[in-house]
Amino acid sequence: MGIWDEMKKSKKRMTLAMNKTRGSMAEQNYATGRTMQGYEVERTGRGSDYKERKVDFLTGRRGPPTYVEVKSGNAHLSELQKKTKKRTSKYREERY
């Protein structure tokens, strides 16, 4: 392996790290914004990023849950996310 191959690998690693950081920031911004709008936002395990419910502060009632996948840039849904979207009627994909 030459120096050029090492440089290509290094560039690829840096790009992937930046994409991961950008995605994490988009998720945090989404959760903060929805909380400020009166939604209860809960992190989920697999298939989506968040489960959110509208909360009425006067009565304390909660609306039905909606599953949300936050994507940044030109990212695509994974196979598990596509399966979850097909199985669940209340599934949204948010772009940041």
pLDDT score of 85? 92
Indicate the pTM of the whole model: 0.84
Q: Is 60 left (phi over 0), alpha (psi -120 to 50) or beta?
A: left
Count of domains forming the chain: 1
Q: Which residue range(s) make up the domain with 40? A: 3-95
Q: Residues near 71 by Cβ (< 8 Å), separated by ≥ 6?
A: 23, 26, 77, 93, 94, 95, 96
The CATH number of the domain holding residue 89 is 3.40.1350
pLDDT digits (tens, 9 = 90+) for 6-23: 889 999 999 999 999 999
Q: Residues near 51 by Cβ (< 8 Å), separated by ≥ 6?
A: 41, 42, 44, 65, 66, 67, 68
pLDDT digits (tens, 9 = 90+) for 44-59: 988 899 999 999 989 9
Helix or strand (DSSP H, E) at 43 = strand 39-43
> What is the share, in percent, of the chain residues with pLDDT greater than 70?
99
